[in-house]
Structure 1
Amino acid sequence: MTKPPKRPLTLRDVSEASGVSEMTVSRVLRNKGDVSEATRKRVQTAAKTLGYVPNKIAGALASQRVNLVAVIIPSLGNMVFPEVLAGISETLDDTELQPVVGVTDYSPEKEEKVLFEMLSWRPSGVIIAGLEHSDASRAMLSQAGIPVVEIMDVDGDPIDTCVGISHRRAGRKMAEEILAAGFRRIGFLGTKMPLDHRARKRFEGFTRTLGKEGVEIADQEFYSGGSALAKGREMTEAMLNRTPDIDFLYFSNDMIGAGGLLYLLEKGIDIPGQIGLAGFNGVELLQGLPRKLATMDACRREIGQKAAEIIAARQEDNASDEPVLIELSPKIEFGDTLRRG
């Protein structure tokens, strides 16, 4: 269904919503002039509710747009996102558009701040990771009047267009293969879920599929912080000490999975005869491990490419602004740690 076209909000919109003059609104938003605290709060509340972002280039360009694409991701330390950025960059190389990156650290509050600053420069489009945002962020994105492409995930309600994979389906597929290979005492090791929505959805798809076959997670270990080999070793050791009859370890990402693999090899454990393993993301850096870790490619570069193609296409005069959902299909790589069922 085609969504109604949006126009950028103006001072007049905030003025009408707050019941004060445009001049007063301007003073409050620029933090200038003598304005009562009650009026200041009324204007700020109205602006936040509407999703208003000030235009820092108003009057400078006839188009009211700069040739920048705001790319907002949760982390640069996570090895997933550099490949997404590479796909975006190589696609935009053939255009006049230039990506500019903002990092949120998986924080909804920081995402609001990054969005506010980036949208104030009136970019030509936004590429943002994930479908879950605060009300303020959704309002800003909805009212920006520019193409918005949410990436990495399709399990949710996109604001405009989204490109990604179904993480629930990814979790389900991995569970099906693990069960088909005969494993039943399965442990899950991963990041804490409240802010990592995609890992949470994979976990949901994984556990629901196990449950349909009468299998429950035998043990689980969660952590806060970035993905790391040392963390994977530590978590694997803790789980095996707690639940020594585990026969499969499913990691929420490849980096901790690699740490677990190295720990098991060090202990002389037969893989996958005694314990099988699988991760997620298909990180190429790990191809040099003593054993090839089973994983699932998250289509990272292709996601970046397609998102950038959509933004570039929307710049054409006759371009359609109809929302699009592009779901890619990741494939399981069995490697040396998961038997084929």
Structure 2
Amino acid sequence: MSNRKTRRPLTLRDVSEASGVSEMTVSRVLRNRGDVSASTREKVLTAAKTLGYVPNKIAGGLASQRVNLVAVVIPSLSNLVFPDVLTGISAELDDTALQPVIGVTNYSLSREESVLYDMLSWRPSGVILAGLEHSRTARAMLDAVSVPVVEIMDTDGDEIIDTVVGISHREAGRQMAAEILGAGYRRIGFIGTHMPEDHRAKKRLEGLEAALSEVGMTLAAREYYQGNSSLAKGRELTERILAREPDLDFLYYSNDMIGAGGLLWCREQCYDIPGKLGLAGFNGVDLLDGLPIRLATTDARRVDIGRRAARIVSGKESRPDGGKLSLNPYFMPGDTIRSPR
């Protein structure tokens, strides 16, 4: 494990020294007692945030000062991706003494801070959380803990807290570009979410555009939406982009949900798929099994990511060299892309 794992746990004394007030006053502030001045309270809370200190809610008599819980922090339960990840985590922890407990951030970094603060105060035996992008305060809290921390889903980043398990989304975008170009498509459009919170979709788009640029091409059109993905949004945005750019011959969607909506709309309009118009999504979700024809997509290795992260947290598997375990995404051609030319 990394040197971070041998760190001495932070204490009230550390916060006391950093804030310049007594340990008793620090304790009062962190227990939300009202008999502390506003200026002193602010000094203590600022020091605690900077250090990454989280109060311990476990009864003092518990010898290990740990509970048999693994904190699992994900952005959404409505996104079809994350139930599969949780399935993999649960399957690997099933024969251990560890139990996963779930926190949801709604793709908000400030909400992630709050969720982590509450979960870490119960002193879990490990942490699994989605993504590499965290606020400074969240990162400080995670740096301060002395249990395994596994960031999942994405390996495109160098600021690793402890261990990362996922796929390269930039590579997934490049892989899709190679399949699209290899099938002879040249007028390519992109449909996806606005990117500020969806870092992984942004990296896939970056990979796609980088691969196109290498052969002197650019995206011919793009369409963005806000909020949750849905079949209805996929239909609406597909109609909009093709009305504006009717000569597009391929549409790449940032996920399978909107891709499935686009596919249904195109079939209703009698588009020649994949002859005149190719389509592809991302994730390889089970939703695609119910479509009239199979949407091309990329398997993002969701269950495998959950399993491997849980194995590392539980001690079944050693931390990988360098802290990074990158799984290979693989292309699933389905029925909506021509055979390579």
Q: TM-score, normalised by structure 2?
A: 0.96
Using the alignment, how far apart are the partners of 2:135 and 2:151 within structure 1? 14
CA contact (8 A) 2:160 2:323 kept: no
Report the CA distance shift for 1:36/1:136 in structure 2 as closer, same or farther (over 3 A).
Answer: same
| Counterpart among 174, 179, 182 of residue 172 in structure 1 | 174
Q: Please tell me whether the aligned partners of residues 3 and 323 of structure 1 are also in contact (alpha carbons under 8 angstroms).
A: no
Letter in 2 for 1:119: L
**5+ long unaligned stretches in structure 1:** none
Aligned position for 1:6: 7
- 1:282-333 CA-partner distances (Å, limit 9, x unpaired): 012211211110000000000000000001107x9xx779762110001101
1:68-107 equivalences under 5 Å are 68-107=69-108
Q: CA deviation at 1:212?
A: 1.1
Counterpart amino acid of 1:74? P
What is residue 287 of structure 2 aligned with on the other side?
285
Shift of 1:2: 3.7
Deviation at 1:45, TM superposition (A): 0.3
Counterparts of residues 1-341 of structure 1 (less than 5 Å): 2-4=2-4, 5-156=6-157, 157-313=159-315, 324-341=323-340
| CA–CA distance in structure 2, aligned partners of residues 303 and 7 of structure 1 | 30
Aligned length, in residue pairs = 338
Question: Does structure 1 conserve the Cα–Cα contact (< 8 Å) formed by 2:2 and 2:162?
Answer: no
Matched letter for residue 304 of structure 1: G
**Does the Cα contact within 8 Å between 1:176 and 1:209 map onto a contact in 2?**
yes
Is the Cα contact below 8 Å between 1:153 and 1:163 reproduced in 2?
yes
- Give TM-score, length-normalised by structure 1: 0.96
Percent sequence identity over aligned pairs: 66
Query: 1:60 Cα deviation (Å)?
Result: 3.3
* Aligned Cα root-mean-square deviation (Å): 1.5
Contact 2:312 2:319 in 1 (8 A): no
Partners of 1:65 and 1:201 in 2: how far apart? Answer: 37
Structure 1 residue 58: Cα displacement: 4.4
CA distance, structure 2, for counterparts of residue 331 and residue 181 of structure 1: 17
Query: Which aligned runs of 4 or more in structure 1 are off by greater than 6 angstroms?
Result: 319-322
User: Contact conserved, 1:2 with 1:322, CA < 8 A, in 2?
Assistant: no
Q: CA deviation at 1:42?
A: 0.5
- Please give the secondary structure, in 2, of the residue aligned with 1:128: strand
The 3 A distance-change label for structure 1 pair 40 and 322 is farther
- 1:133 aligns to what SS in structure 2? coil
SS at match of 1:127: strand
